[in-house]
Structure 1
Amino acid sequence: MSYAIVGFGAVGQALAWAFARRNIKVAVAGRRPPEALAPQARAIGPTVVAKSLRDALEADTIILAVPFGEHRGVAKALPSWKGKTVIDAMNALVPVEELDGLLSSAFVAKAFTGAKFVKGFNHLIAATLAADPIVEGGHRVVFLASDDEDAIAPVATLAKQLGFAPVNLGRLNEGGALVHARGRTWGQLIFQDLVKKEQ
């Protein structure tokens, strides 16, 4: 399984730290060319490799960590998303009217036709996401939601490999609504830093 993070701002870099900590190879791409991102990527760890957007999208699993709205440009970079898993780590700080009455991930998913689409890694602030997830005798929780049941399992496996405790909230418009930002409102689980104690 190959991974890429698209967006190399605070959240993208935080996720890159999570991959580097576990020596898992991940491509990173952003607005700037790869040669401009390379020094930051190398500073995080040798398994973090800066690539062009086109090259990064060759990965099996792509984590969206771009500012909301820029996902459309990412979606247009591939003619088909079939066979790809897309993890939406964005939060939509836009008026509800701009989302066609949908939750943000359901809105974003429409642009990635054919992809397995999962909401995840979006409820923690970047500094917390970047920190070691093994704390207080347990693992920091990440919430996952998807309308595709088959898509959750491999993302949950990735979360565990990164040291997190994945919690499946179910469908996007059910449990997933708890981790969505819409307009000026936040889902009830946004910013909740929970730890699952080891049994």
Structure 2
Amino acid sequence: MSYAIVGFGAVGQALARAFARKDIKVAVASRRPPEALAPHALAIGPKVVAKSLRDAAEADTIILAVPFGEHREVANALPSWEGKTVVDATNAFGVPLEELDGLPSSAFVAKAFTGAKLVKGFSHLVAATLAADPVVEGGHRVVFLSSDDEDATAPVAALAKQLGFAPVTLGKFNEGGALVHARGRTWGQLIFQDLFKKEP
């Protein structure tokens, strides 16, 4: 399984640190050329590799860590996303509901990634929290996952576990997933909730 993070701002870098902590190879890309990202990527860890957006999009699983308005630009990197999993770590706070066709933001994002399985995840915590070691006093920091595709969440949950998090599945975007979606200028109830799950 190959992984990429698209977006190398605070959230993208926080996620890159999570991969580096576990020595898992991950490509990172943004609108900037890879040579501009390379020194910072290398400073995070030797397995964090800067690539072009087009090359990063070749990964099996792509984590979308760009500002919400840039998701279409990323989607245009490939003509089809068939067979890929896209993890939506964006937040649409402040985006008017009519601009989203009344859909949860991740369902709206999914429309741009033709053929992909889309999972909302790693989006409810601020970057500084996401960057910290998720294992604290025998507990694992919770990450919430939701998807309209039932088969899509299992591999993302497995990745979250590999990174040291405790994945909690919320169901479909418009069901439990609504708790981690911003609507207009209202945050979902689970956004910013920094929870831990103890090992049984």
Same fold (TM over 0.5): yes
SS at match of 2:152: helix
SS at match of 2:37: helix
Residue identity opposite 1:89 in structure 2:
A
Who is 1:65 aligned against? 65
Who is 2:28 aligned against? 28
CA distance in 1, matches of 2:129, 2:19: 14
Q: Work out whether 1:74 is the aligned partner of 2:53.
A: no
SS at match of 1:186: coil
Structure 1: give runs of 5+ residues left out of the alignment.
Answer: none
Q: Work out whether 1:189 is the aligned partner of 2:190.
A: yes
Structure 2: give runs of 5+ residues left out of the alignment.
Answer: none
Per-residue deviation, 1:15: 0.2
Per-residue deviation, 1:137: 1.5
Percent of residue pairs bearing the same amino acid type: 86
1:33-64 alpha-carbon deviations (Å, 9 max, x no partner) = 00000011011000100000011011000000
Residue identity opposite 2:195 in structure 1:
L
1:46-91 alpha-carbon deviations (Å, 9 max, x no partner) = 0100000011011000000000110001111101110000000000
Q: TM-score, normalised by structure 2?
A: 0.98
Per-residue deviation, 1:10: 0.3
Give the alignment's Cα RMSD to 1 decimal. Answer: 0.6
Per-residue deviation, 1:136: 2.3
Q: Work out whether 1:126 is the aligned partner of 2:133.
A: no
Residue identity opposite 1:22 in structure 2:
K
CA distance in 2, matches of 1:39, 1:95: 38
Residue identity opposite 2:146 in structure 1:
A
Mapping of residues 1-199 of structure 1, within 5 Å:
1-93=1-93, 94-199=95-200
CA distance in 2, matches of 1:57, 1:112: 11
CA distance in 1, matches of 2:169, 2:46: 31
Q: TM-score, normalised by structure 1?
A: 0.99
CA distance in 2, matches of 1:95, 1:56: 30
Aligned residues: 199
Residue identity opposite 1:179 in structure 2:
V
CA distance in 2, matches of 1:137, 1:24: 22
CA distance in 2, matches of 1:4, 1:88: 12
Residue identity opposite 1:130 in structure 2:
A
Residue identity opposite 1:74 in structure 2:
V
CA distance in 1, matches of 2:24, 2:154: 18
Residue identity opposite 1:53 in structure 2:
L
CA distance in 1, matches of 2:50, 2:66: 15
